[in-house]
């Protein structure tokens, strides 16, 4: 595939003529209709197998590598270019057709019943794991059960392994008290593990994901010991065990979200970890990219210093936010916006999409009917391609999406163009 950035005057028909690709194929790859209006700065997937690229005025080798989903080093080596800065207009760059690496892909879902089944029928081919969110643990080692039978059956039909998720979630947030009640009491832990095993066997789960957040820092070693107990009891039954880790950039990062998450211990004990590499820009905070690549890379660099890459799954968001300006701390929270809705809003208000190179994220500003300024940060084909390039460069185990059901057709096309998805079922 190629990724084309829309310029003034572009239309789907013109792109079809330029790249010699049917309009229907371009529309399908991007989740568009043939009548869709394009936005200046919008990224459009061009579904072609490109063998070469003729350098245009002002293009860099790095930009060409990004467009075709290959690394700069790979592209330079393949073309015998010793200095990537020395390319010129009209030069032909051969695009290497690399073998797609195989990765694991996890998708969390909060959709159950028919709505959840419909999502899995569409997205299931791209998933290694389906993770219904979530079994909420009580202080006594029991948990609030889910009615997820329909989506587990749908997952099996798509060869996606169901992964049970347990959390210390209560009343809209993660509870340090529940985490402590479990981690400080061996009897509660044994009851919880027994309940997990019974449920996994009865419902057909193949893996467990432990998402304990805001664990009291003093309980760090207790948490590590609990994980070892879980692994010791689940591994003999051939169940995989994973955890979610807050996005730390150093071992001594301060804050209740971070301190009890011991990267070296989790990397040693469990089968894999899911790094929650998103929410730099969040609903109650100032406007920022949700998953800025420059910050994500810092988390990955720390993680890779204490655990092997084959144990690391990088978190990816399927959403953005729309902030009303000026941002006021403690003021109205920014609503979530899907990439599809973000494009429609840009069309509605006549906004041009910009792209921040440092964070590798698209954004735009607009004024609403009441004259209030807004800024929208979201994801597009370019931003996910940039993240996939990091997955390949670092040889990571895979990626994990929060959360399924948010319309973003481009993501799944780009994912499939870059990787072969591992199936455990």
- Cα 206 to Cα 152, 198, 201, 229, 233, distances in angstroms: 11, 12, 8, 18, 14
Residue with tokens 């009580």: 138
| 407 phi, psi to nearest 5 deg | -65, 115
Asked if residue 71 has pLDDT above 90, the reply is no
Handedness of CA 145, 148, 153, 158 (dihedral sign): negative
pLDDT of residue 69 exceeding 90: no
Whole-model pTM over 0.85: yes
Section 244-252 average pLDDT = 98
Alpha carbon 425 to its chain's center: 22
SS3 267: helix
Could you check whether the bond before residue 326 is cis, i.e. omega within 30 degrees of 0? yes
Question: How do beta strands 373-377 and 361-367 pair?
Answer: antiparallel
The string of pLDDT tens digits covering residues 310-366 is 999 999 999 999 999 999 999 999 999 999 999 999 999 999 999 999 999 999 999
Helix (H, G, I), strand (E, B) or coil at 386: helix
Q: Is the pLDDT of residue 67 over 80?
A: no
102-319+380-421 CATH fold: TIM Barrel (3.20.20)
Residue 94's pLDDT band, with cuts at 50, 70 and 90, is: confident
| Contacts (Cβ under 8 Å, ≥6 apart) of 323 | 286, 287, 334, 374, 375, 376, 377
Neighbouring CB atoms inside 10 A of 188's CB total 19
Q: Kindly write down the DSSP assignment for every residue of 294-354, as one continuous string.
A: HHHHHHHHHHHTTS-GGGEEEEEES-EEEEESSP-TTSPPPPEE-HHHHHHHHHHHTPPPE
pLDDT score at 265: 98
Q: Domain 2-94 sits in which CATH superfamily? A: LysM domain (3.10.350.10)
Q: Hey, which residues are catalytic here?
A: 213
Question: Mapped to the 3 state alphabet, what secondary structure does 68-127 carry?
Answer: HCCCHHHHHHHCCCCCCCCCCCCCEEECCCCCCCEEEEEEEECCCHHHHHHHHHHHHHHC
**Is residue 399 within 8 Å of residue 129, measured between CB atoms?**
no
Inform me whether the pLDDT recorded for 20 exceeds 90: no
Domain extents for the chain?
2-94, 102-319+380-421
Rg of the chain on CA atoms, in Å? 23
pLDDT tens profile 206-241: 999 999 999 999 999 999 999 999 999 999 999 999
Cβ burial of 48 (10 Å; 0-12, 13-18, 19+) is middle
At residue 98, the pLDDT reads 61
Contact criterion met (CB below 8 Å) for 191 and 181: no
- pLDDT tens for 161-202 read 999 999 999 999 999 999 999 999 999 999 999 999 999 999
């Amino acid at each position: 595939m190629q990724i084309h950035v829309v310029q003034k005057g572009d239309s789907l028909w013109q792109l079809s003529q330029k790249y010699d690709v049917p309009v229907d194929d371009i529309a399908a790859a991007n989740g568009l209709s043939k009548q869709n209006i394009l936005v200046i700065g919008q990224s459009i997937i061009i579904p072609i197998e490109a063998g070469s690229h003729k350098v245009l005025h002002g293009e860099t080798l790095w930009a060409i590598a990004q467009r075709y989903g290959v690394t700069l080093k790979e592209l330079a080596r393949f073309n015998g270019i010793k200095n990537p800065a020395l390319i010129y207009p009209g030069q032909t760059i051969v695009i290497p057709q690399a073998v797609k690496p195989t990765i694991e892909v996890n998708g969390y879902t909060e959709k159950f019943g028919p709505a959840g089944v419909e999502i899995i029928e569409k997205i299931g081919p791209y998933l290694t794991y389906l993770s219904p969110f979530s079994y909420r643990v009580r202080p006594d080692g029991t948990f609030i059960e889910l009615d997820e039978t329909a989506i587990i059956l749908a997952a099996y039909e798509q060869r996606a392994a169901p992964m049970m998720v347990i959390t210390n979630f209560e009343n809209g947030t993660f509870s340090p008290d529940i985490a402590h009640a479990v981690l400080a009491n061996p009897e509660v832990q044994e009851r919880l593990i027994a309940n997990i095993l019974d449920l996994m066997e009865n419902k057909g789960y193949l893996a467990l994901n432990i998402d304990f957040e805001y664990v009291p820092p003093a309980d760090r070693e207790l948490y590590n010991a609990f994980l070892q107990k879980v692994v010791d009891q689940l591994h003999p039954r051939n169940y995989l065990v994973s955890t979610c880790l807050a996005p730390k950039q150093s071992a001594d990062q301060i804050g209740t979200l971070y301190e009890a998450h011991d990267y070296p211990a989790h990397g040693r004990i469990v089968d894999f970890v899911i790094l929650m590499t998103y929410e730099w820009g969040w609903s109650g905070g100032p406007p920022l990219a949700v998953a800025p690549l420059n910050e994500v890379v810092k988390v990955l660099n720390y993680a890779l210093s204490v655990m092997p890459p084959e144990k690391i799954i990088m978190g990816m968001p399927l959403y953005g936010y729309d902030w009303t300006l000026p941002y006021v701390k403690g003021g109205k929270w920014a609503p979530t916006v899907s990439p599809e809705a973000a494009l429609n809003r840009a069309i509605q208000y006549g906004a041009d999409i910009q792209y921040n190179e440092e964070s590798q994220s698209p954004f735009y500003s607009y004024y609403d009917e009441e004259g209030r300024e807004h800024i929208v940060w979201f994801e597009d084909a370019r931003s996910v391609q940039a993240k996939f390039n990091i997955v390949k460069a670092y040889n990571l185990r895979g990626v994990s999406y929060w959360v399924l059901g948010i319309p973003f057709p481009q993501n799944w096309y780009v994912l499939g163009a870059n990787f072969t998805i591992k199936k455990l079922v």
